[in-house]
Amino acid sequence: MTIPDTELNYVKLRYRKMRNIGIGFGFALMLVEIIMLAVAYSPFYQFLTFVVLGAWVWGGSYWAKYKGRDDFWSLIMIFGPLGYIILMRLEDKWPWEKMKHKRRKKFTRE
């Protein structure tokens, strides 16, 4: 199947790249945060918590755009892994995703 609009495909791929950067950065910082919590509870840990949540929401906004949804869906990433699962299971709302399942009509000559 060919995607009808290559520009929309480019936009969707760009959103996927930004999603991976934001959410990956958030998960990497979360690991650092867990190590810092195990070593010593510091004020920097509290600051890092806000940075992690910010990275998740930022990546989640691109993920919502990648799925063809509003930015409101990015706020669900505040809930951590639960938000990750919900965004992962969201159905795409891009125009070509709906066309994927439709069969082409075969025209026959009479």
pLDDT in tens, 33-90: 777 776 666 677 777 777 877 887 787 777 777 777 777 777 777 776 667 667 666 6
Helices vs strands, H then E, count in the chain: 4, 0
Q: Do residues 55 and 85 touch, judged by C-beta distance below 8 A?
A: no
Instruction: Look up residue 26 and give its two tokens.
Output: 């958030």
Please tell me the pTM assigned to this model: 0.54
Determine how many CB atoms are found less than 10 A away from the CB of residue 8: 14
Cα separation, 17 vs 4, in Å, equals 21
Q: Do residues 97 and 1 touch, judged by C-beta distance below 8 A?
A: no
* pLDDT at residue 1, rounded to an integer: 46
- 69, with CB counted inside 10 A (0-12, 13-18, 19+), is middle
pLDDT tier at 109, thresholds 50, 70, 90 = low
pLDDT in tens, 74-97: 777 777 666 766 766 666 665 554
* Terminal-residue alpha carbon distance, the chain: 28
Cα separation, 108 vs 102, in Å, equals 18
